[in-house]
Structure 1
Amino acid sequence: MILLGSLVNSLAIIGGSLLGTVLRNISEQTKDTVTKGIGIGVVALGLQMAVKTNAFTLIIISLCLGAMLGEALKIEERMNHLGLFLQKHFAKNNGNFAEGFVTSTLIFVIGSMGIIGAIQSGVSGDNQTLYTKAVMDGFMAIMLTASLGLGVLFSSLPVFIYQDLITLVASVLISYVPHTLITILMAGISQIGGLLIIAIGLNVMRLTKIRVSNFLPSLVLMVIFQSLQYFYF
């Protein structure tokens, strides 16, 4: 079952979030320390992903154009509105609901592990990478929920949809896209994703406030630019 990996990943986030609600009575100081620890770990992961590149020009162009497109589409604002809508209906007294939803969605969605794992699932039916990601996301959900609230639980839905779409597309395109191009595209997505993950980590530690969601179009632009470069240059 090619979609099993994404399902397990989503269930791990739900389970971790529910367990995290039990830990919400810990002191604010502990929550702050744990949150900053998560931020440090996220930054470290982003650095590991981002440094493996020789395509700085394409990355900068993709980031800048992607940011312009994201700001025009108001992606961050729309995600916050969705989080506030969910908060209104499911957690009226939780002021951190929207922040928890947006932050956890970005952490769980952006990253090479989910992309590569979803592609592996679609190409070969191998879900091992997604199972590993599920374990990591489950523990991350516990800590995020303890710090940011129940909004983290609802991030399981976009994670499930996003990874399933990649899996389904990969299962169809494998017969048409050169293997070399797939390798190049995964590397490019990983590098852009690494930079966005660093920004998420800085936000989690509250060192700055970067509208990371508005950079998401840069991932798509990177794919387009690298595809054009592969076929025409």
Structure 2
Amino acid sequence: MLLPVGPYVNGAAVAIGGLSGAFLGTRLPERLRTAMPMTFGLASMGLGISMIVKLQHLPAVILALILGAIIGEVVYLERLIGKLGTRAKGLVERIFPPREGLSHDEFIEKFVAILVLFCASGTGIFGAMKEGMTGDPQILFVKSILDLFTAGIFATALGYSVASVCIPQIVIQIALFFGAAYIMPLTTPGMIADFSAVGGLVMLATGFRICGVKPFPVANMLPGLFLAMPLSHLWTSLF
């Protein structure tokens, strides 16, 4: 039986990056703390585009994104994640002093963005599923390197709360790791490509949000990931 390695390495990278960045804080030059999130946002958009171009059935991808966003809006998914972020911030601040100079709304805005970036990226989801099927953690190892620096830079502004993101990240990736043995045999290359495309659209919206171009409600789009494969299969069967 395969045991997960990549999810723990990825979670450790986020935790180490978050703790290190929060510790350094204002010791890092202001120009670095300002410029790097823009770079990470651009990287997120680039990764999203590379995933979108793999799509096989555009109508199914668009339908999954729209229906997923409707579900997210109806259940107030982003608001729920924001409340969890506030709770995580409160728990962390009992141990570590709060970071000054950041309003509550600014904290929630950035915290939700990094939660999606770390926990719901197509790279992490597919990487965990691939390791579950083949035992190869290389994709998650690459993601761990990126997450280490990303968490460090964001933690200079958000504080130690960033490190807490490693908990849901590990839980989600381990669930995907063990679920892959049941999910992957039921999929086709086209279904996986459409799933990747929906994840790419979410990553693209996340990049715009990180860069401050447009505050897309990215958390409300996440249900679309769960609809992508079923709708892709349905579209193929009907048309």
Other-structure match for 1:208: 214
2:81 to 79, 82, 85: 79
Instruction: Check the 8 A contact 2:54/2:194 in 1, yes or no.
Output: no
2:129 to 97, 116, 119: 119
Other-structure match for 2:139: 129
Other-structure match for 2:203: 197
- In structure 1, what is the Cα distance between the partners aligned to 2:199 and 2:183? 22
- In structure 2, what is the Cα distance between the partners aligned to 1:218 and 1:63? 5
Other-structure match for 2:18: 17
Other-structure match for 2:118: 108
SS of the residue aligned with 2:199? helix
Number of matched residues?
A: 229
1:231 Cα offset (Å): 5.2
- In structure 2, what is the Cα distance between the partners aligned to 1:186 and 1:110? 16
Tell me the amino acid that sits aligned with residue 22 of structure 1: F
1:223 aligns with 2:224: no
Residues 108-152 of structure 1: per-residue CA shift (max 9 Å, x gap):
123332122212221122222222221221121112212333232
1:68 aligns with 2:70: yes
Other-structure match for 1:186: 192
Q: After the TM superposition, which of the residue ranges 146-155 and 218-227 deviates more from structure 2?
A: 146-155
1:162 to 164, 172, 180: 172
Instruction: Check the 8 A contact 1:70/1:215 in 2, yes or no.
Output: yes
Instruction: Check the 8 A contact 1:42/1:200 in 2, yes or no.
Output: yes
- In structure 1, what is the Cα distance between the partners aligned to 2:64 and 2:177? 24
SS of the residue aligned with 2:24? helix
Other-structure match for 2:54: 52
1:34 Cα offset (Å): 1.7
Distance 1:199 1:154, change over 3 A: same
Uncovered stretches (5+) of structure 1, i.e. residues with no partner: none
User: Under a length normalisation based on structure 2, what TM-score does the superposition of the two structures give?
Assistant: 0.87
User: Under a length normalisation based on structure 1, what TM-score does the superposition of the two structures give?
Assistant: 0.89
Instruction: Check the 8 A contact 1:122/1:167 in 2, yes or no.
Output: yes
1:43 to 45, 66, 70: 45
- In structure 1, what is the Cα distance between the partners aligned to 2:110 and 2:159? 6
Uncovered stretches (5+) of structure 2, i.e. residues with no partner: none
- In structure 2, what is the Cα distance between the partners aligned to 1:87 and 1:115? 25
1:30 Cα offset (Å): 3.4
